[in-house]
Structure 1
Amino acid sequence: MPVPAGAVQALSSSAAGGQGKNVPDKEELAQATEKISKLVATFASELNFSIDEDLGVPIVKVIDKHTDKVIRQIPTEEVLELSKNLDKLVGVLYQSKA
């Protein structure tokens, strides 16, 4: 089932900060994902929108309504873990130069 155009526009404008900012804050992301989740729930209840607490990036999951198993996740768990580990590595490298 296609995602309504309003949902995509809401996420896009919120992800852009809605006011010309390059990076939205956590509250803006939370509000955008809540709006989209409510809008999409009427059309495709198997979609789940959330925000990764450590990275602050939006996560979209497609969930099987009957089994509650995750069918697809964007970005994947592997990509999230890689991002978190890269952030740690950059922090260690930065500290070693100081």
Structure 2
Amino acid sequence: MDILSATSKQAQAQSAPVKVESTATVRSVETTHETAKTAKEQNEQSAEEIKKQLNDTVEKLNRNMEALDTNIKFGFNDKISMMFVNVMERSTGKLIRKIPSEEAMSLSEKMQEIIGTIFDKKG
């Protein structure tokens, strides 16, 4: 009988620290998850601020080009995060040239989609 009681006391003593470590691990994971969530929110806010700044810059560039009496218009493509330039005909407003070309921007967008499909993590 003494052997059984000693064995059961030993088993209880060994199982107690495991529970404490498990709780500490859960708290650590919860803290890490909250930190990651906060970082993600900050990145989203930063991305929105950057887009706003880029749009403001594009507007300023276009106002400056009008003041210089040129036929150049600037723009920003959100899908590929890239600026472009349109050269317009003065009298008709017809597009003469787009730099980079529409085909190049379309190709870049498709390549980013493919890369995103292969490498991006979801969730």
Instruction: Report how far residue 54 of structure 1 moved.
Output: 1.1
Instruction: Report how far residue 80 of structure 1 moved.
Output: 0.5
Instruction: Report how far residue 44 of structure 1 moved.
Output: 2.7
Instruction: Report how far residue 68 of structure 1 moved.
Output: 2.0
The aligned residue for residue 70 of structure 1 is 95
1:79 equivalent in alignment to 2:99:
no
Aligned counterparts of 1:88 and 1:63: Cα–Cα separation in 2: 30
Question: In 2, are the aligned partners of 1:29 and 1:58 still within 8 Å (CA)?
Answer: no
Larger relative CO (CA 8 A, sep 6+): 1 or 2?
A: 1
1:36 equivalent in alignment to 2:54:
no
Q: TM-score, normalised by structure 1?
A: 0.64
SS at structure 2 position matched to 1:30: helix
Gaps spanning 5+ residues in structure 2: where? Answer: 1-48
SS at structure 2 position matched to 1:25: helix
Aligned counterparts of 2:62 and 2:91: Cα–Cα separation in 1: 19
Question: In 2, are the aligned partners of 1:47 and 1:62 still within 8 Å (CA)?
Answer: yes
- The structure carrying a bigger helix percent of its residues is 2
Aligned counterparts of 1:44 and 1:76: Cα–Cα separation in 2: 23
Structure showing greater radius of gyration is: 2
Question: In 2, are the aligned partners of 1:49 and 1:58 still within 8 Å (CA)?
Answer: yes
Q: How many residues align?
A: 72
Aligned counterparts of 1:92 and 1:55: Cα–Cα separation in 2: 15
Structure 1 segments (4+ residues) deviating >6 Å: none
1:25 equivalent in alignment to 2:50:
yes
Amino acid at match of 1:90: I
SS at structure 2 position matched to 1:48: strand
SS at structure 1 position matched to 2:93: coil
